[in-house]
Amino acid sequence: MKKALKWTGNIIFTLLLVMMVILVFFTVSSKFSQDGSSKLASYQLMVVLSGSMSPEFNAGDVVVVDAKKKTQYNKGEVITFKDPQDQKKVVTHRIAEVLQNGDQISYRTKGDANNTADSKPVPAANIIGQQKWHIPYLGRVVEFAKTKQGIVLLVVIPGILIIVGEFRRIAKVLTEEVEKRKREIVPEPAAKE
């Protein structure tokens, strides 16, 4: 039973630590990014804010975008791009049509859940990258972690629990070491003959 409790405690400790590292990474990296995304190598992680691509992915999911530029994208691929009408807005939609005007390539895009295509074609220069996969629901946790309550509940409290747990482990090891040294110093009673 004691071994099972120790094993469970180690799993909980590891999960808390991993959760804290992920949330701190998302929170800090998104604060320094212009578009609010987090970067990991050549990948950008972005929180989905609308349901325009449902059922492919939903609001509150995290989309992982390969930010390595390709020379051309194909119809049916899902791309993330700066909105041609508002460069501060980032959108992830599917390519409905590839448009070519001489050397200029642009893309007509459409959200899977939308009835019509987006009003303006997306110039190739506006493309951030191609969507590779998504992580359901993680965006909700990340967005909550950016609030004061989220920082307290998801970073500070688990951090305190980890620190307290480590102090308890250190105290236990020190106590065992002191007991061991006491036994070494105090001689065993001599056996009677």
Which sequence positions are flagged as catalytic? 50
Q: What angle do CA 146, 12, 174 make, to 5 degrees?
A: 115
Q: Do the beta carbons of residue 65 and residue 47 sit within 8 Å?
A: no
In whole angstroms, what separates CA 124 from the centre of its chain? 27
What CA–CA distance (Å, rounded) separates 38 from 130?
Answer: 15
Torsional sign, CA 85, 55, 66, 60 = positive
